[in-house]
Amino acid sequence: MTALNATHDPKLRSWVESAHVAGTDFPIQNLPFGRFRPAGTDEAFRIGVAIGDQVLDLKAAKVIDHADMNRLMAATPAERVALRTALSEGLQQGSPKQGEWELALYAQSAVEMALPCHIGDYTDFYTGIHHATTVGKLFRPDQPLMPNYKWVPIGYHGRASSIAVSGQQFKRPQGQTKAPDAAEPSFGPSKRLDYELELGFLIGQGNALGEPIAIGEAEQHLFGVTLLNDWSARDLQAWEYQPLGPFLAKNFASTLSPWIVTMEALAPFRAKFERPAGDPQPMAYLDSQANREGGALDVTLEVWLHTAKMRAAGEPATRLTRGNTTQAAYWTAAQLVTHHTVNGCNLQPGDLLGSGTLSGPTLEEAGSLLELTFGGKQPLTLPNGERRTFLEDGDTLTLRGYCERAGAVRIGLGEVSGTVLPSAAAR
């Protein structure tokens, strides 16, 4: 795991003044990567690093000589640390690079962001034990968790082609559903559209086909973390998921943050990975002393809803929930990498591993409307009087994430937003 070094020093200051604004997601201790171009142009996207409310064009700053994020992600851990060190030193107050690098800065408000990398493959896991338990109770009151849950990281192969960057607008999905008292299914727009609060783990260096990644090496293959909303049509899912799992209920849209917060930046915010008393310990191939001591991440996650009616009235979004990953995830990112490859599966730079819905132990920490409304049986009343069981057309859902800890500078994951449009059938 990445050790603390000079780039994490809380005393570091940048010559980019907005990097010191209270509550900023992007102080000099963060330095997340993304792909951008000037808004309103058809220029090629280039690699940038967020600093305050600015983004530094790495090629224009002569830090790299290409615009291929996947190539950058494939660098060795040592090369990644060296790049982070060079960026930190160049952006520090008093750096001789200031004059040159100022010319390579763009205001984030004046750029268009793309997906941070090319995502070749996407696997969505199910690491949120509180989410799994609560949802299980809705469908299987006598056995909320399946027997394998505490032994094996559960996952399924998702759809990479429908993943889009924050700001995504998508049509309400259509498909088959079946009411409990109906003799046969019906076809139409989903009536139980939901969000899923997740983290996305992006692979750096890959592995050769047939060569598993051991748990002690898994962290070296993780490039960074981003926010992920894996939208879900719960009524389509209930009808189709047996026996093979999610299909149309999940593949219509997934929304990703434009910024990748690197594993190096997250070094001050690692946490112990501990199983509850009485639970089985991970099998040997999923266990290591380092993973137990610091395999978990300490990230605060929030969900915000902005309805069409709120926007029309000039009202702000309302926060639905706030929770923390240390209370939510039953498996670490390293364990997901190791399990994914234990059969010889080859991962590649840019592959995305979704954490699954990260709900905490209380209702205020729920990561989906399915949980917040008890399967739609108890609608939420919003501050403006509107009610929600599931998402309605015009709703914008935003996820936010940040890390805070004594002795470290707060860093953020930015945010990821998406808006529901009417289904194709409604047009």
What would the pLDDT profile of 28-38 be if each residue is shown by its tens digit? 999 999 999 99
Q: Please give the Cα distance from 114 to 36 (Å, whole number).
A: 6
Which tokens in the block code for residue 345?
């599966």
Active-site residue flag, 221: no
Helix (H) or strand (E) holding 156: strand 155-157
Confidence label for 193 from pLDDT (cuts 50, 70 and 90): very high
| The one catalytic residue among 131, 221, 306, 339 | 131
Domain assignments of the chain as residue spans, ordered by start: 6-114, 122-426
pLDDT digits (tens, 9 = 90+) for 242-263: 888 889 999 999 999 999 999 9
Confidence label for 139 from pLDDT (cuts 50, 70 and 90): confident
Q: What is the mean pLDDT of the chain?
A: 96
Interstrand relation of 261-262 and 270-271 (parallel, antiparallel or unpaired)? unpaired
Give the percent of the chain with pLDDT over 90: 93
pLDDT digits (tens, 9 = 90+) for 102-131: 999 999 999 999 999 999 999 999 999 999
CATH of domain 122-426: 3.90.850.10
Instruction: Report the length, in residues, of the chain.
Output: 427
The identity of residue 404, as a single letter, is: E
Q: Please give the Cα distance from 106 to 49 (Å, whole number).
A: 10
Confidence label for 143 from pLDDT (cuts 50, 70 and 90): confident
pLDDT at residue 18 in the model: 98
pLDDT digits (tens, 9 = 90+) for 348-401: 999 999 999 999 999 999 999 999 999 999 999 999 999 999 999 999 999 999
| CATH fold of the domain at 6-114 | SH3 type barrels. (2.30.30)
Quick one: CA torsion of 321, 403, 260, 234, rounded to 10 degrees? Answer: -20
pLDDT at residue 426 in the model: 63
pLDDT digits (tens, 9 = 90+) for 259-277: 999 999 999 999 999 999 9
pLDDT at residue 427 in the model: 56
